[in-house]
Chains A and B, each alone.
Chain A
Amino acid sequence: MLELRDLHVYYGEIHALKGVSLSVSGGEIVALLGPNGAGKSTTVKTVSGLHAPRSGTIQLEGESLVGLPAHEIVNRGVAHVPEGRHIFNRLSVFENLEMGAYRRSDARIPDDLDRVFSLFPRLKERRAQVAGTLSGGEQQMLAIGRALMATPRVLLLDEPSMGLAPVLVEQIFETIADINRHGTTILLVEQNAAVALEVAHRGYVLETGSIVLAGTASDLIQNVDVRRAYLGE
């Protein structure tokens, strides 16, 4: 479904991605793990068009995404929940969700809104509230709900557990698994490998811009290196 091949991305002189290749098949949750500064965010930002790769290819179901502006890539079926959530603080919860459906004009928008509200009942309660006043967990729910309003084929999630209490993390990841069961393919970026590998089918480990390890979730959990580096053992 989503295929990255030999991706090189630079920030000026900084060589942030040094030939990253990875693939996500339809229906999968694939985890992209790695320490801070490894290039995980850069990878998903390049997929969604916020950064341009210097070389390499990105294909969604065989169609190239490279060179398309970010606002066109959403149309192709890729939604991106950015690291740090980036909800629109000054818009209401409801308006944030409407922004997620910005490129749509079909009649199914109210149904999708209902679905988001049933996934996250808290958002329904707070629909008229200014989004900047939500708690961290609610903001993460809103960021995910907003992305779902684009009815993506592939959902890019960048560190959804960041800054959340363990209970909330648990809850968010259950929802992520649920979204996936309903047919959405997910590329899940996480520093928190333990939680991510619980829901993911496969995973990749990125270090300083290169993939150093790949395998099924159970392989990666078993892998001693991963245990040592990311599970704190």
Chain B
Amino acid sequence: MDLQILVGIFPQVLLDGVSLGFMYALIALGYTMVYGVLEFINFAHSEIFIAGAFVGVEILLGLKSAGVLEHLPWVVLLLLVLLAAMLVSGLLAVLIERVAYRPLRAAPRLIPLISAIGVSFFLQDLIRLFESIWRNAFNLVYPTIDPLTVRFEITSTIDVPLKTLVVIVAALVMLFALQFIVKRTKLGKAIRAVAEDQPTASLMGVNVNRIISITFLIGGAMGGAAGVLFGVQYGLINPYTGFIPGLKAFTAAVLGGIGNIPGAMVGGLVLGVLEAFAASYLSLLTGGAFGAEYKDIFAFSILIVILIFRPRGLLGEIVRERT
């Protein structure tokens, strides 16, 4: 085993893990915000995420066939696609809550969960139906935005494509913006109040249903943005692509402490980095006995161990409550 190789690829692997982790973090926010407010796991969030990826690919493909893709600056392109995906995914999340969850709010916990799983299947097949009619395609490939593939050489063995940096920066900006909204604005205070005690929040004059809709809007928008970044980074999407990243992001949210926004970021990063290291190092360290395909087993084993020792998640808080 060559120590030099192990050390040499370390920064590259770390960078891959971090960018993957930020992607998980962005998706995890959707789970964690909704859970924070309703104590409900929105299983349809993986499809809200992938819907954003589809909005992005459709716009880019449209621009490409109109012949303008190459002529627009990449920043403009990316912002346009991100905003459109955030809008569509955000509104989709609001609509789902309105139609599939709100009527069930008084029902036992399990019932809206089943409804969410139903919505998830429904959306997968709706996207599939749409794409098969509209493009007669199942898999779609993000058109390359050439400037984003430019690689920055850090050392002779490490280089990063611009798109990876874009993913990291975009995710950081959104995470901090969200944290600011929740901690520092009146809207954020209302969200936290509703999360804690809905009837009492309404006694303060908070329109609880509106705050819940806004929570879905924000979580959905973050998911949509993650969808675009996923497409830009990995290229290939299909209607079922959302499932696995969704599940992992949910895990990241639990790992970080579900309901906790910085927790989603930490959980996402830990999971992303673990996964990247497992993918690159498992086979090197075991002399090829375990290949990269075991990365999930390795990453999730570590997660289980962490959760055994910290069942509330890494940043899950214990609030002392007196009555």
A88 CB contacts on chain B under 8 angstroms: 192-193, 196-197, 200-201
A98 CB contacts on chain B under 8 angstroms: 186, 189
Residue in B204, B206, B207 whose Cβ sees the most chain A Cβ within 10 Å = B204
Kindly state whether residue A150 has any CB partner on chain B within 8 Å.
Answer: yes
CB within 8 Å of A: which of B286-323? 319-323
Known interface pairs A88-B192, A102-B190; A130-B319 also in contact (CB < 8 Å):
yes
Chain B, Cβ-Cβ closest to A49:
B202
A95 CB contacts on chain B under 8 angstroms: 189
CB distance from B323 to the nearest CB of A (A): 6
Say yes or no: A71 contacts B202, CB within 8 Å.
yes
* Docked complex Cα distance between A49 and B199 (Å): 10
CB within 8 Å of B: which of A94-131? 95, 98-100, 102-103, 130
* Docked complex Cα distance between A99 and B197 (Å): 12
Say yes or no: A100 contacts B197, CB within 8 Å.
no
* Docked complex Cα distance between A80 and B193 (Å): 16
Say yes or no: A48 contacts B203, CB within 8 Å.
yes
Kindly state whether residue B205 has any CB partner on chain A within 8 Å.
Answer: yes
CB distance from B315 to the nearest CB of A (A): 14
How many residue pairs link A and B with beta carbons under 8 A? The number is 80
Chain A, Cβ-Cβ closest to B203:
A80
Known interface pairs A98-B189, A99-B204, A102-B190; A134-B322 also in contact (CB < 8 Å):
yes
Known interface pairs A50-B199, A86-B200, A91-B196; A71-B206 also in contact (CB < 8 Å):
yes
Say yes or no: A102 contacts B204, CB within 8 Å.
yes
Q: Contact check: which of A71, A82, A133 meets B208 at CB < 8 Å?
A: A71
CB distance from B313 to the nearest CB of A (A): 16
Say yes or no: B320 contacts A133, CB within 8 Å.
yes
B193 CB contacts on chain A under 8 angstroms: 88, 91, 99
A79 CB contacts on chain B under 8 angstroms: 203
B197 CB contacts on chain A under 8 angstroms: 86, 88
Chain B, Cβ-Cβ closest to A163:
B323
Kindly state whether residue A55 has any CB partner on chain B within 8 Å.
Answer: no
Known interface pairs A91-B193, A99-B189, A133-B320; A74-B205 also in contact (CB < 8 Å):
yes
Chain A, Cβ-Cβ closest to B197:
A86
Chain B, Cβ-Cβ closest to A50:
B199
* Docked complex Cα distance between A79 and B189 (Å): 19
B186 CB contacts on chain A under 8 angstroms: 98, 102
CB distance from B49 to the nearest CB of A (A): 28
Say yes or no: B320 contacts A150, CB within 8 Å.
no
Kindly state whether residue A135 has any CB partner on chain B within 8 Å.
Answer: yes
Say yes or no: A89 contacts B208, CB within 8 Å.
no
A49 CB contacts on chain B under 8 angstroms: 202
Say yes or no: B319 contacts A132, CB within 8 Å.
yes
Say yes or no: A102 contacts B200, CB within 8 Å.
no
**Residues of A near any B CB (own CB < 8 A):** 48-50, 69-71, 74-75, 79-80, 82, 84-86, 88-91, 95, 98-100, 102-103, 130, 132-136, 139, 146, 150, 163
Q: Which 4 A-B pairs have the closest CB atoms?
A: A103-B205, A70-B202, A74-B205, A86-B200
